[in-house]
Every structure is written in structure tokens, then in C-alpha cells.
Amino acid sequence: MNYLWIVIGCFLAGPIWSQGEFQTLIHAQAGELEAKVIEWRRYLHEHPELSNREFETAAMVTKHLEGLGLEVRQKVGYTGVVGILRGGKPGQTVALRADMDALPVTERVDVPFASKVRTTYLGTESGVMHACGHDTHVAMLMGAAEILAGMKAEVPGTVVFIFQPAEEGAPPGEEGGAELMVKEGVLKDPAVDAVFGIHINSSTPVGEVRFKPGGALAAVNRLVIKVKGKQTHGSTPWTGVDPVTVSAQIILGLQTIVSRQMDLTKEAAVISIGKISGGVRSNIIPEEVEMIGTIRTLDTEMQADIHERIRRTVTHIAEASGATAEVTIEKGYPVTYNDPALTAMMGPTMKAVAGVDNVILTRARTGAEDFSFFALEVPGLFVFLGGMPAGQDPATAPPHHTPDFYIDESGLALGVELYANFALDYLLLAK
């Protein structure tokens, strides 16, 4: 008889109620499941699917959850899968979320399970790769579901497993992601009291867990600016209105919003123009220039203020040169906000599972996450799990969304433990 079943046998002798007892059992089971979780992850990595196209991933998740005896709902938020575990004891309802989609990135990592999938994305041929670690999230949550399903009789409440599509954004013209799942009622039936999410991180050492109360990840808004001038010959610019030079002035003006107009001791903010296009040849001043960029903010009041300052700055600079400008700021994702009380409640859980020295309070990041839509509805906690090999310099670790993105799988068992313990500890403490 191995260690796992000795532990289980001890617990079957009496009711499981203390956090410490749950944590010991979950640790043993996560170790037993580690090889299976890695196998799932490798299969998903080798067979990635883009946003709102996660059909095979959803089928794999569905089969697993049904095999565990869970109530399963399919096609939630287009391709999303939701598993519901109704525990044997009364209590609140907690949700655990994993995202499923991959990216249009061609993999360069030399591993046996590297993706060879090809696609045409927005008219351009590309590889498809789990270049953000969503394959690990799915595998870890599948593992947590298996552990919790095996403890169903002792679970004091309900656990909702949310396998979410399209975190990277739905294709043009489609809805998707967390926002659509919320709209379709994923947090309403049953009514969820708290939600937890985990994200693997390629520059955080294996074994570490990083978190931040309050604004943890930035709100993101896509910015489109169209500057309209008057077309003319390049040799006589005074006979027209040059939208190219106006656009250059606008780009510089936008940077002063952050550097000279915002209180950056409160929270960070970023305005970046990533694309500028206009004109057809060297000796023609064009009629119109389009700029596309991104706005990142960590505070909702600052977000509204920055949006207003962008509109004012752009339109006034254009008017000063006789041009006009249209500003479109798309909805995007809100700030990913970690509820301070929930974060404090789960602090001991993280330390017990990962070790006191491995739980690190971190600064906010200017990346964005659509987990934020869940956390707008109910208290949420979103943490980062180490995926960088021990001893590697974080500065040399390939970033997310790149062809060389790499995750050390030895950290996945810890992710399984975190998911399961977040659920059980919350349900125990919320009674």
C-alpha cells in the first residue's frame, strides 16, 4: 500500500474538516497525479487551438469531468466547459478558472511535444502555440478536479470548474472569453461567492507563488486615432495639411499625459502607439494617417482621466495644425483586482502549500487578463505560479507570447495543490 492510500485510509476513519488535514491529503494526491497532469499538458501543448476554436480541448476536458461524475455544461461562452461539483456537506460556492486558448505563434522550443500546428490567422499563415501557458492551466485544473471529486463527500459546499476560451481575445466580429461567460450566467447558477485563478509565469522560479492585493494587472484599451488632413504634392506642403507631421506631434503629446499629467505615485500607466500607417509614396502628402496603440492603467479613476486627456490632446493638436482627428477607445479588459479581504484570507493557504519563503508579494504588472471580468462580479484572487527552471536568470527567460516560451513542468503539481486548496480552504473558512 503506497503513501497516498495510507493517508486516505487515515482520513476515512473520521470526518475531514481541518485545513491542515485537507492540505496533507491534497499534497499526497497531487504527487500521485503529477505524471498524469504532465501528460495532459503535453498533449494540449502539441495540439493547440486558437481563441473560440478550442473544440478538441473542450472535448478532452468534458470527457475528463464527466468521467469524474461531475455535472458538465458545454458551449458556455462559445466553447467553454463548466464542471460543477456539489459537495456532500452544505456551504458556499467557489469557482476555479483556467483558460484554454493558444496563440498564432510558431514554436521554436526543442521539445518532443512541440506544436506543429499551422493556421491562417487574419490572412497571414502562422504556427499555433501555447505561448502563454494556458495548456498548463487546463492540465492543473483537471488535476484539481480529480482530487476534489474524490473528496466529494467531505467538500463543504460547491466547486465550479471554469474552463474558459478566448482569454487572448475572440476573433474579429465574435464575442468570447470571460466577459461572454459572465453574460451567459456562469457565476449565477449556482451563485458563486468567490473565484480563483492561477497563471504560470516563465520568469518566476519554479516553486514560487506571487501575488498582489488590489490592482494586480492592468486594464487594457485599444486606441485608434485617425488624423485627417489635406492631400497635396510633397514638394509644396503649404498647399495642404500634413497628417504625418500632425501624427508625430500627437505621439509626443500622448507621452506627456503619463510623464507630466498623472500622479504616478498612485499607480503606473502606459500609452503606446504600436502601428502608424498612411500614404502611398514619397512625394505625396496623404489625406489620412491611422495610428493604433494600447492604453494600460491600474486604477479605474486614472483610467477615465487618461481616456479624457487622450481625446483632448489628440483633437487639440490636430486642430492647431488645421487637421481633424477621430479618437476611438475600445472597451478592452478592466483592471484585474484582487479583493484585499479574500487575498488576506488565502495568505496562510499559499504559505502552507508553497512554503513561507516561496510566497512573494509582488508589484502590479501592466499586462492584462480577462479574469478581471469574473472579479468584477464576485471577490476574486489571481496569482502567478513559477514556471522558470531553477537557477535560470529571469532576464534571460523567454517572455510569454514568444516562439521560445518555455515552462518547467516540475511546478505543475504545486499548481494543482493551489487550485484544490484555494477551493477547500475558502469553503471551510467561509462557513
Question: Residue 190: is the preceding peptide bond cis (ω within 30°)?
Answer: yes
Which of 333, 406, 419, 426 is catalytic? The answer is 333
| 330 included as an active-site residue | no
DSSP string, 272-302: EEEEEE--SSTTEE-SEEEEEEEEEESSHHH
> For the chain, what percentages of helix, strand and coil (3-state, to nearest 5) are there?
40, 30, 30
Is beta strand 288-297 parallel, antiparallel or unpaired with respect to 336-338?
unpaired
- Comparing C-alpha atoms, which of 52, 204, 202, 39 is closest to residue 119? 52
CA–CA gap between residue 18 and residue 328 (Å, rounded): 53
Which of 56, 71, 377, 409 is catalytic? The answer is 409
CA–CA gap between residue 360 and residue 116 (Å, rounded): 36
Which residue is it, cell 500622448? 254
* Residue 427 C-beta-side C-alpha neighbours within 13 Å: 32
For 81, the 3-state DSSP assignment is: strand
Yes or no: say if 371 and 412 are a contact pair by the CB < 8 Å rule. Answer: no
- The DSSP call for residue 85 is E
For 385, the enclosing helix (H) or strand (E) is strand 380-388
One-letter amino acid of 36: K
| 125 included as an active-site residue | no
Catalytic residue IDs = 333, 409
